[in-house]
Amino acid sequence: MANLFSKSLWLAGCLSAAVLWSAQAQAGIVIQGSRVVYPAKDREVSVKMTNVAKEPSLVQAWVDKGNDKQSPDKADGPFLITPPITRVEANKGQTLRLVYTGDEAAAKKQETVFWLNVLDVPPMPKTEGTNFLQVAVRSRLKIFYRPEGLPGNPTKSAEDLSWSVVQSGQGFAIRTRNDSAFHVSLANVSLDVGGKSYKVKTEDVKMVAPGATQDFALPGLSAMPGAGVKVNYEWVSDYGAVIKQDAKL
């Protein structure tokens, strides 16, 4: 029964993807925070959520390693979630407790990212004899699992990104390298050249993993810039705050 129940909720979540744009305002479950930080020394971490709707919601939660199409019954994230399925009454709260159960990430010398999925299924309409479309809304939050003893800290990692401009096809791109043990979540990136700003498209801005390099295309830049070039970027802190930063090439 548990597997059948999980699959039925998951199918509702898949159906919601096609109409997600119209369902955002209908989502009743609000999750506290935009990310979860899990220090390895902690036995568990808590994620609080509140149902701000006028009706109760059924919530299912699971963790995956990055495959957003993975069903709950095949979730591969090394976490035990309590409760995995729960009813949250209108204007009431509920706490999800996450316990790390693996050892693969703990053995690494860098931070590892997993994904927490929270599926919000609203109740069936009480009106009988009418057609309706029931929409389930799924939220995905990053879980940053941090082994003990990592050198540096996330704030310093974001501030110390290295930047350069490189040829990319027929145009140019701005390249950033993260030499730290932490992931850096970028929000916006632009290059100032002689008083003119060249902005990376928002949808192209990505998280930079530890030890990784990312190239972001610079639309409109037609020549390799000289001296006096500055990079403006925004990164997201552990608390979900967007912090402005700048650096010279």
Check: CB of residue 234 under 8 Å from CB of residue 188.
yes
Please check whether residues 56 and 123 belong to one and the same domain.
yes
Q: Domain containing 134 — which CATH number? A: 2.60.40.10
| pTM of structure | 0.86
Please check whether residues 193 and 222 belong to one and the same domain.
yes
On the CB side of 61, CA atoms within 13 Å amount to 27
Give the integer Cα–Cα distance in Å for 190 and 72: 38
Please check whether residues 138 and 46 belong to one and the same domain.
yes
Residues of 21-38 as b/e, b for ≥16 C-beta within 10 angstroms? eebeeebbbebeeebbbb
Domain residues for the domain of 193 are 154-248
Please check whether residues 134 and 12 belong to one and the same domain.
yes
Please check whether residues 114 and 184 belong to one and the same domain.
no
> What is the tally of structural domains in the chain?
2
Please check whether residues 188 and 232 belong to one and the same domain.
yes
Residue 22: its pLDDT value, please?
A: 35
Give the integer Cα–Cα distance in Å for 106 and 228: 42
Please check whether residues 9 and 114 belong to one and the same domain.
yes
Domain boundary among 146, 170, 186: 146
CB atoms within 10 A of CB 73: 13
Domain boundary among 127, 146, 165: 146
Please check whether residues 93 and 8 belong to one and the same domain.
yes
Ordered per-residue pLDDT tens for the chain, 249 residues? 344 344 445 544 444 333 333 334 456 899 999 999 999 999 999 999 999 999 999 999 999 999 999 889 999 999 999 999 999 999 999 999 999 998 877 678 999 999 999 999 887 777 666 676 667 889 999 999 999 999 999 999 999 999 999 999 889 999 999 999 999 999 999 999 988 999 999 999 999 999 999 999 999 999 999 888 999 999 999 999 999 999 998
What are the angstrom distances between the C-alpha of 239 and each of 37, 146, 154, 209, 235?
9, 15, 11, 18, 11
Please check whether residues 110 and 161 belong to one and the same domain.
no
Domain boundary among 96, 111, 146: 146
Residue 125: its pLDDT value, please?
A: 72
Tell me phi and psi for residue 73, to 5 degrees. -70, -10
Please check whether residues 32 and 141 belong to one and the same domain.
yes
Of the candidates 193, 152, 190, which has an alpha carbon nearest to the alpha carbon of residue 174? 190
Please check whether residues 124 and 168 belong to one and the same domain.
no
Give the integer Cα–Cα distance in Å for 143 and 110: 14
Please check whether residues 9 and 124 belong to one and the same domain.
yes
